[in-house]
Amino acid sequence: MSSAQDYLPLVIQGVVALGFVVSVLIVTHLLGPRVHSKKKDSNFECGIESEGNARFPVSVRYFLTAILFVLFDVEVIFFYPYAVNFKALELEGLLAVILFVAFFLIGFLYVLKKGALEWEK
């Protein structure tokens, strides 16, 4: 049975880690030389004048594909422990995995139907 005292080292470590981050932030803030001038405090501008809105839409297709890859990749990972225990889990395990796969299949169908994997539209 563990008691609160056993966690003391953990607490100390936490405090040290947090303290380090905080103190470094404060110290750099204090130590850094600071020169104020009108020019320096104004917005940084150089080069050609900016045009239009900075918030223009970016194609998410690339990210979408990557995320979908991760999703189905994780699915495959789940098969490893199942494959190892295939015999022990018997029929119930098989049904569970079929259900699991079915969900992903439905998801995959949906993704296909939605056209998320079509590179060019």
Partner 1 sequence: MVALIVIFISGLLSLFLAFAKKPWLVLLTASAGLIAGGISLFTQFYYQYDFIHYEGLKFDGFAVAFGLIAILFTLLVVLTGYSSFKDKPQHTGDYIALLLFSLTGALCMLSFTDMFMFFLGLEILSIPIYVMAGSNKDDVRSSEASLKYFMTGAFATGVLLFGIAWIYGGTASFKLDEITAFIYNAEGTHSSLIYIGLLMILSAFLFKVGAAPFHFWSPDVYDGSPHIVTGFMAAVVKLGAFGAFMKIFSVTFAGLHDFWAPALSVLAILTMFVGNLSALKQIRFKRLLAYSSITHVGYALLTIIVQSPDSAFNLWAYIFSYGFSTIGLITVAIIIHDEEDRIEAFRGLVRRNPFTGFVAILGLLSLAGVPPLMGFFGKFLVFSEAITQYPWLVAIAIINSGIGIFYYLRMVILVLQKEDDDKPKTPRHKVPVLQMIVLAICALALLFGGNMLIF
Under the binding rule (CB under 8 A), the answer on residue 110 touching partner 1 is yes
Q: By CB under 8 A, tell whether 121 contacts partner 1.
A: no
What minimum distance in Å lies between the beta carbon of 7 and partner 1?
Answer: 8
Among the residue ranges 16-24, 35-43, 72-80, 102-110, the one whose residues contact partner 1 (CB under 8 A): 102-110
Tell which positions 35-64 bind partner 1, by CB under 8 A.
Answer: 55
Q: What does the alpha-carbon distance between residue 84 and residue 77 come to, in Å, rounded to a whole number?
A: 12
Long-range CB contact pairs, 79-82, < 8 A, 24+: none
78 binds partner 1, rule: CB under 8 A: no
Q: Are 82 and 97 in contact (CB under 8 A)?
A: yes
Q: How far is the CB of 110 from partner 1 (least distance, A)?
A: 6
Among 3, 43, 50, 59, binds partner 1 (CB under 8 A): 3
**Which residue spans within the chain are E strands per DSSP?**
none
